[in-house]
Amino acid sequence: MKKIGLALGGGGARGFAHIPILETLDRFGVKPCVISGTSIGAIIGALYASGKSGSQIRAIIDSLHISREKGIRDAVHKAPNLIRGMGFVRPEISRGGLVNVDRFLKSLIDDIGVETFEELEIPLYAISTCFWRGDEMAINSGKLFPAIKASMAIPGVFAPVKHDGHILVDGGLVNNVPYDVIQDQCDVTIAIDIAPIRLPSKNTVPGVMDAALGMFDMMVERVMTDKRKKKEADIYIECGIKDVRVLEFNKIDDVYEQSQTAVKELERQLKLKGFVQHS
């Protein structure tokens, strides 16, 4: 049996596309022996590495989300879960970021059910960037919370994280889809890229936040393009999510819908590689 490594890319709200991907792996009995993740990929990766199925992760995330179809009834039903995650939008300008994610992340850590990497069922690498050296930090031991928080600390949006003597920021700056981190531990690597497809908007001049996050996305894509020229994953899935910004967590339904093309491509690739029998 071939050992499979799974790399989940960063991209904020677009990262909910990872969930249908995980459900697809579950449906075909494809279980990774190691996982790496950047930013939202580290969060979803930690949930999966803890033993949660793709459908269980969907249920956890959906408990913090108001469905556009169900509206106010959904909001009332989910009020306790929404309240426990509301710290996600607390300002934290004094520490170098616009929002604080502690309460949101802690609510997910509670759902993970463990506090350290060592307690996970599947080994996990959370990717962040050392701010002062500018190099990659692939953390796979110790406390989960600070490592995951560091992995998603987009400069100027989320505050940098001090961890083990380092000042850490978002891993997307150096390795947004970290399949290379785990290639020596598996036979086949599956990489899931949630980089956006940018389309011109009616307002041709973006606002300050859109411009900053857009430039971040462009830089991340350039780094990944250069990396892929040197070494490619065995299966590389580009989700191609359109019109969903990094912080638009209210568009989860749109992300689920748009991810279906990536799901079909993953199924095709798994069959091509012999992991799934052709129907």
Question: Could you list the active site residues?
Answer: 39, 170
CA–CA gap between residue 187 and residue 185 (Å, rounded): 7
Question: Phi/psi at 254 (nearest 5 deg)?
Answer: -65, -40
DSSP 230-271: H---SEEEE--EES--TT-GGGHHHHHHHTHHHHHHHHHHHH
Burial class (CB in 10 A: 0-12, 13-18, 19+), 167: middle
Rounded to 5°, the CA angle 26-27-33 comes to 30
Please state the separation of Cα 257 from the chain's center in Å: 17
Strand, coil or helix: 17: helix
Rounded to 5°, the CA angle 51-192-227 comes to 125
The DSSP 8-state label assigned to residue 91 in this structure reads: E
Among residues 20, 17, 18, 36, the alpha carbon closest in space to that of 175 is found at 36
CA–CA gap between residue 148 and residue 150 (Å, rounded): 5
CA–CA gap between residue 160 and residue 96 (Å, rounded): 7
